[in-house]
Amino acid sequence: MKRLLIMTMILVFVSAMLQGYAATITGTAPYLTISGFNLTNLNNEIESQFNTAIAQANVDLAPYQDQEKLAIGFANANAYSTNTATQQGYPKL
Give DSSP secondary structure letters for 31-83. Answer: ----TT---HHHHHHHHHHHHHHHHHHHHHHTT----HHHHHHHHHHHHHHHH
Instruction: Give CA–CA dist 65/13, Å, rounded.
Output: 16
pLDDT of residue 41: 94
Domain that holds residue 64: 25-84
Q: How far is CA 38 from CA 28, 30, 41, 45, in A?
A: 20, 16, 8, 13
Examine residue 13 and state whether it is found in any structural domain, yes or no: no
In the chain, the number of structural domains is: 1
- The pLDDT of residue 5 is 61
| pLDDT score, position 80 | 72
Residue 35 lies in a domain: yes
> What pLDDT shows up at residue 68?
74
Is the residue at 39 inside a domain? yes
Residue 49 inside a domain? The answer is: yes
Query: Which portions of the chain are predicted below pLDDT 50?
Result: none
Does the residue 91 lie in any domain?
no
Is 40 a domain residue? yes
> Does some domain include residue 33?
yes
> Which value, in Å, is the radius of gyration of the alpha carbons in the chain?
25
Residue 43 belongs to a domain: yes
What is the pTM for the complete model shown?
A: 0.49
